[in-house]
Copies of this chain bind each other. A is one copy, B any other.
C-alpha cells in the first residue's frame, strides 16, 4: 500500500545521553570500537532531543540531508556507514522472508531532515542523539528490527547509548568486527524517579580540540589513558552498576565525579595536552565540593564532557536549594534571557551558614543558563503526521 503513495515517511525522536563512566579512545577508528566500556544516563526528551524525518520516493533523484533546516553533506563517511548498514539489514531481512510485507524499493533514494531542540552551544553531544535518531528512523522506515546500537555506534560511538532509555552500558566487546560492541540497558528511566540532571551552560570560548581528534591523540600519547582503560574502568563499571541498582546517590555521585576528573586528567596527560575545563568549570567543581562538605555528604555531583559545561546530578529534594546556590554564585546577567529552562525549580531560602560556607566571590554572567531535566526514555516513533520535517514534496518545510 505504501508503494502506491508518492512518499513513504517516518519521523522519530532520540535522546541525548551523558556518560558517568567516560568513553575516551578507540581501538578501531573505522568501526568505532572503544578501548573501554562506558555507562551513561539518557536525558529526557521533553528537554533535549533530536527529531529526524526520513522519506523515500521513487521520484527522489539522490540521497539528501538537511540539518537544522540547512542543506548538509550526506557524503560524510560515518553517515554513509549508517545508511549503507541499514540498507544492508533491510535487504537481509527481505531475503530472510521476514520483510515480505515491506513494500519499499531499497533502490529508492532517501531524504533525511534532522533538527535538535537545543542549541549546539549547550555543548551536549548532539552527534549521539543525531546518529541514534537517524538509525532508529531508518529502521522504522525499512522495517528493520533487532540490534541497532551497533549501527548507531558506527555513526558516533556514544550514539549507541542513546538507543535506550534510563541507564545504559556500552560494552566494549572483544571481537575485531565489533559485533559484540553494543549498548545495553542497565535499568529503565523509571528506576530512580528522584534523580535530577542540571546542565550548567558556561559562557565560553569555542571548543578547540574536537573529541574525535582529541581521543586519538590521547590513545597515541597518554600512558595514563592506557592504564585507566585497562586497570581502572572495569572495576568502576561494576561499582557504578551496583550504585545505580541500589539508588545509592553518594556512591553514584562520588564515582561520577572521580571518573569525570580522571577523563580530564588523561586529556591533560595527552601530548600536546587537551583542556576542556576552564576557570568557570573549576569554580563549579569547587562549589559542588563546598556544597557537599557543608552538608557532610554528597548531595550533588558534577561531570564534564569535552567542553566547559557542567552536568550536575542531584536528587529532587535538593534541587531547589542547589539551583539557588548556583544562582547566588553565578548571578544571571539581567539581559532578559531566561536563566532557568526545562523542569521547574521552586524558591529556596539559603541559611546564612550555607551562604557563608558555600557561596564565595560570585561571578556574574559566567553561567548563561541552567537546563533542568531528568532521566528519560529511548527513541520514539512520532505518529502525528503534522510533525514530519519533510513535506509532501520531500523537502523541509520553509519554516524549518
CA A260 to CA B219, docked complex, whole Å: 19
A227 CB contacts on chain B under 8 angstroms = 223-224, 227, 231
Segment with Cβ contacts to B, from A89-97, A268-276, A344-352:
A268-276
Q: A80: CB under 8 A from chain B?
A: no
Q: Is A261 an interface residue (CB 8 A)?
A: yes
Does A113 touch B at the CB level, under 8 Å? no
In the assembled complex, the Cα of A282 lies from the Cα of B265 at a distance in Å of: 14
A269 to chain B, nearest CB (A): 4
A279 interface contact, C-beta 8 A:
yes
| A266 contacts B by Cβ under 8 Å | yes
User: CB within 8 A of A269: which of B223, B231, B262, B271?
Assistant: B262
Q: Which of A223, A224, A257, A285 has most B Cβ within 10 Å?
A: A224
| B258 lies within 8 A of A285 (CB) | no
A58 contacts B by Cβ under 8 Å? no
A257 to B265 alpha-carbon distance, docked (Å): 15
CA distance A26 to B174 in the complex (A): 39
A contacts with B, residue count (CB < 8 A): 28
A246 within 8 Å of B (CB atoms)? no
Q: How far is the CA of A223 from the CA of B239 in the complex (A)?
A: 15
- The proximity string for A residues 220-261 relative to B, scoring 1 for CB distances below 8 Å and 0 otherwise, is 000110011001100000000000000000000010011001
Interface residues as binary, A85-110 with B (CB distance below 8 Å gives 1, 0 otherwise): 00000000000000000000000000
Rounded to whole Å, the gap between the CB of A395 and the closest CB of chain B is: 41
* A268/B268 contact (C-beta < 8 A), A224-B228, A224-B262, A231-B227 known: yes
A289 in contact (CB, < 8 A)? yes
- For window 268-303 of chain A, which residues contact chain B by CB distance below 8 Å? 268-273, 275, 278-279, 282, 285-286, 289
Least Cβ–Cβ distance between A232 and chain B, in angstroms = 5
Decide: B278 and A269 in contact? CB cutoff 8 A.
no
A265 / chain B contacts, CB cutoff of 8 Å: 224, 265-266, 268-269
Is A264 engaged at the interface, CB distance under 8 Å to the other chain?
Answer: yes
Q: CB within 8 A of A272: which of B269, B270, B272, B289? A: B289
Q: B residues within 8 A CB of A228?
A: 223-224
Given A261-B268, A264-B268, 13 extra CB contacts under 8 A: A223-B228, A223-B232, A224-B262, A224-B266, A227-B231, A261-B270, A261-B273, A262-B269, A265-B265, A265-B269, A268-B268, A278-B279, A278-B282
- 28 A-B pairs with CB atoms under 8 Å apart are A208-B286, A223-B227, A223-B228, A223-B231, A223-B232, A223-B262, A224-B224, A224-B227, A224-B228, A224-B232, A224-B262, A224-B265, A227-B227, A227-B231, A257-B271, A261-B269, A261-B270, A261-B271, A261-B273, A262-B268, A264-B268, A265-B266, A265-B268, A268-B268, A272-B285, A272-B289, A278-B282, A279-B279
Which residues does A use to contact B, with CB under 8 Å?
208, 223-224, 227-228, 231-232, 254, 257-258, 261-262, 264-266, 268-273, 275, 278-279, 282, 285-286, 289
Closest CB pairs A-B (n = 10): A265-B265, A265-B269, A265-B268, A227-B227, A279-B279, A272-B289, A261-B273, A224-B224, A262-B269, A223-B232
